[in-house]
Amino acid sequence: MKVEVGLQTESNFYTGLTQDLSGGGVFVATHQIREVGDRIKVFLNLPGQKETFEILTEVRWVRSTYFSQSVEDPGMGLRFLQMSPQAKQAVSDFLSKRESLFFDED
């Protein structure tokens, strides 16, 4: 499942997709890497939702392939800082309907 996401900085607006969403943040695959600590507005459009949610985020980590031969997409891990109660509920509802990619093997 891919989720549409938009990013807005002081001077630019980007759009893209993510496949990595949690209750605390989102990974956005992009070549437009920002610095750790930068704040970015994210516009999240979840499947089944008519509303696009605006969420203030902070760059917590980056993955760049500029200097490496990594097969993983470059991008940024963004932590949610400010989001409306409706956005929190929509993310929670979305995640409760998706199967986790990770599981314990006991």
**Which domains does the chain carry?**
3-97 (2.40.10.220)
CA–CA dist 74, 72 (Å, integer): 6
pLDDT of residue 17: 62
pLDDT of residue 99: 55
CA–CA dist 58, 40 (Å, integer): 6
- Whether 38 and 23 have beta carbons less than 8 Å apart is answered as no
pLDDT of residue 64: 79
pLDDT of residue 46: 84
Mark the ranges of the chain whose per-residue pLDDT is less than 50: 1, 101-104, 106
DSSP, res 45: E
pLDDT of residue 85: 95
Cβ neighbours of residue 55 closer than 8 Å, sequence gap 6 or more = 41, 42, 43, 44, 80, 81, 82, 83, 87
pLDDT of residue 101: 46
